Amino acid sequence: MERKMLLSVLVLVTMLLAACAAPTPEVIEKEVVVEKEVPVTVEVKKEVVVEKVVTATPVPPKVAGTIRVGSWESGGALDPWDKAIKKFEAEYPAVTVQLEAVPDAYGDKLLTQFAAGDAPDIFMVGDGDVAKFVLKGAIELLDPYVTGDSPLDLDVFFPGVLGIGQLEGKTYLMTKDYSPLVLYYNKTLFDEAGVAYPEEGWTWDDFVATAQALTLDKDGDGQTDQWGIQLPDHWGDPLWWRGMSPFVFQNGGDILDAEGKTTTGYMNSPETVGAVEFYVSLFNEYKVAPTKADIEALAGVDLFQTSIVAMLWTGRWPLKDFIANPELNFATIGLPKGKVHANSICWAGFAMYSEGKNKDTAWEFLKHIAAGDGAQEFARHAFTPVKSIAELQGLTEDRFNAPIIKDLEYLHSLPCFRTIHFGECVEKNFKEALEKLLIEGGDAQAALDDAAAKADACLAEK
């Protein structure tokens, strides 16, 4: 009841505010005018400077006032925000930065703020929302700022991750942090079982053989006590598309065409079907990976740190905890190779709100957190997109991080960037087919044919 009422309230409030806002096309036109004015102002300023070299009047500071910043993080993850904001405010005393942390239902809140025309000046965006927010005009194009009076050299970033914030060659977002999928392995368990450590360039066959050798029923009660591999994450969701997608890409498959229009011939291609069959067989046939039910039974336990699984396939995020655990003797390695090398990336970025009121200040802060002193704070917690910071941290030399960085060269493009209906039409139907195969079994080709037909019908409706 309360939730329903809340929903209705949101709907009303947002609708009222939306009704007050000017129609979108007009807003876009106005923006274009403003963008053109910037170079003109620059030229005038230059003339003034030339004429009055000695008695130059100071340009009124554009970087002032209050800006709001939106983040979905909480707890310790807000630490870099606090430090970055403190540094910025020390550098620009005329600026106040308000951090709005919304750890629960961040996306819901952001959407209602867009509808109300009142989103934070700078906000975090997950990779899955980039296409939608950019195409619907919620995110400010950054190119005019990058080349404006307070420019930013984009060469300071790793090109691969910078590209995720770009759409059709235009830069819309700055990278906050990112991670490819990573394999962790427990050396102690490998040694105990007398299994060789995985090596760079290992194949699917090596992967299965290794996982089988490490799947054990130690007390002989007919139940597995140790699994070879937990995947595709450490919290136990076998349907996590991004996490399992490297299998599809490694087998030469995909689930959506390059234009984002059709899934038939992709989601049900022999390559994708083969990858899905392989993935399902890890749980149901080889039984080297704990199923969702197994993980539910072990709820609350970190299977990798407690040596219940020998390998873990997930992002870089638990690395810090693993290093901090003195009991754990582990290493990292790139994903195995199927027909080709492939990996996926999980990415978070910073965006500037297109209807913000203080964009010059927002840009200055964005530069600070994406490439400046602020970025150093974020680099302490996750992979930084800034080359110089990464070099300073020695990441490319580090024994845990080097294999992870190496795998970045095999990144496959993310299908969710190709259509804004990815979640509703493509991912949903794919996941339903995958869930059916995992729980009930059956013919992967038939299940994926059906999913592709449904996905195409959904995309055609749009």
Partner 1 sequence: MTAIARLRALRPLRMTLKARREAIIFYLCIAPWLIGFIVFTVGPMIASLGLSFTKWDMLSPPVAVGIKNYVTMFTKDPDFWQSLKVTAVYTVFSVPLRLLTALFLAMLLNEATRGVSIFRTVFYLPSIVASVAAAVLWAWIFNPRFGPINGALRLIGIKGPTWFSDPKWTLPALIIMSTWGVGGEMLIFLAGLKGIPKQLYEAAEIDGAGAPARFFKITIPMLSPTIFFNFVMSLIGSFQTFDSAWVISTARAGTPGSPMRSTLFYLIHLYRNAFGWQKMGYASALAWVLFLIILVVTLLTIRSSALWVYYEAERGE
Site for partner 1 contains 23 (CB under 8 A): yes
Q: Tell me whether residue 13 or residue 196 sits nearer to partner 1 (CB atom).
A: 13
| Minimum CB distance to partner 1, residue 95 (Å) | 28
Q: Which residue among 62, 87, 287, 292 contacts partner 1 (CB under 8 A)?
A: 292
Close Cβ partners of 104 (under 8 Å, ≥ 6 residues apart): none
Q: Tell me whether residue 51 or residue 219 sits nearer to partner 1 (CB atom).
A: 219
Separation between Cα atoms, residue 230 and residue 309, nearest integer Å: 6
| Minimum CB distance to partner 1, residue 258 (Å) | 23
Burial class (CB in 10 A: 0-12, 13-18, 19+), 166: middle
Site for partner 1 contains 14 (CB under 8 A): yes
Stretch that binds partner 1, among 14-22, 89-97, 309-317, 343-351 (CB under 8 A): 14-22
Site for partner 1 contains 236 (CB under 8 A): yes
Q: Are 311 and 183 in contact (CB under 8 A)?
A: yes
Q: Tell me whether residue 233 or residue 360 sits nearer to partner 1 (CB atom).
A: 233
Q: Which residue among 64, 307, 423, 449 contacts partner 1 (CB under 8 A)?
A: 423
The DSSP line for 282-301 is: HHHTS--S--HHHHHHTTT-
Please, what's the b/e burial string for 46-71 (b: 16 or more CB within 10 A of its CB; e: otherwise)?
A: eeeeeeeeeeeeeeeeebbeebbbbb
What phi and psi values does residue 227 have, to the nearest 5 degrees?
Answer: -105, 155
Separation between Cα atoms, residue 198 and residue 180, nearest integer Å: 18
Stretch that binds partner 1, among 155-163, 166-174, 293-301, 404-412 (CB under 8 A): 293-301
Burial class (CB in 10 A: 0-12, 13-18, 19+), 142: buried
Q: Which residue among 72, 81, 123, 133 contacts partner 1 (CB under 8 A)?
A: 133
The DSSP line for 78-99 is: GHHHHHHHHHHHHH-TTEEEEE
| Minimum CB distance to partner 1, residue 347 (Å) | 18
Q: Tell me whether residue 14 or residue 245 sits nearer to partner 1 (CB atom).
A: 14
| Minimum CB distance to partner 1, residue 442 (Å) | 12
What phi and psi values does residue 338 have, to the nearest 5 degrees?
Answer: -90, -125
Residues binding partner 1: number (CB under 8 A): 53
Site for partner 1 contains 15 (CB under 8 A): yes
User: Biggest alpha carbon distance in the chain?
Assistant: 90
The DSSP line for 335-356 is: PPBSSS--B-EEEEEEEEBTT-
Site for partner 1 contains 240 (CB under 8 A): yes
In the chain, the amino acid numbered 111 is L
Under rule CB under 8 A, which residues in 357-396 are in contact with partner 1? none
| Minimum CB distance to partner 1, residue 416 (Å) | 13
Q: Tell me whether residue 4 or residue 218 sits nearer to partner 1 (CB atom).
A: 4
Separation between Cα atoms, residue 201 and residue 221, nearest integer Å: 36
Q: Are 421 and 458 in contact (CB under 8 A)?
A: yes
| Minimum CB distance to partner 1, residue 402 (Å) | 29
Site for partner 1 contains 291 (CB under 8 A): yes
| Interface ranges with partner 1 (CB under 8 A) | 1, 3-5, 7-16, 18, 21, 23-24, 105, 107-108, 111-112, 114-115, 132-133, 136-138, 233, 235-237, 239-240, 291-293, 295-299, 421, 423-424, 431-432, 435-436, 439-440
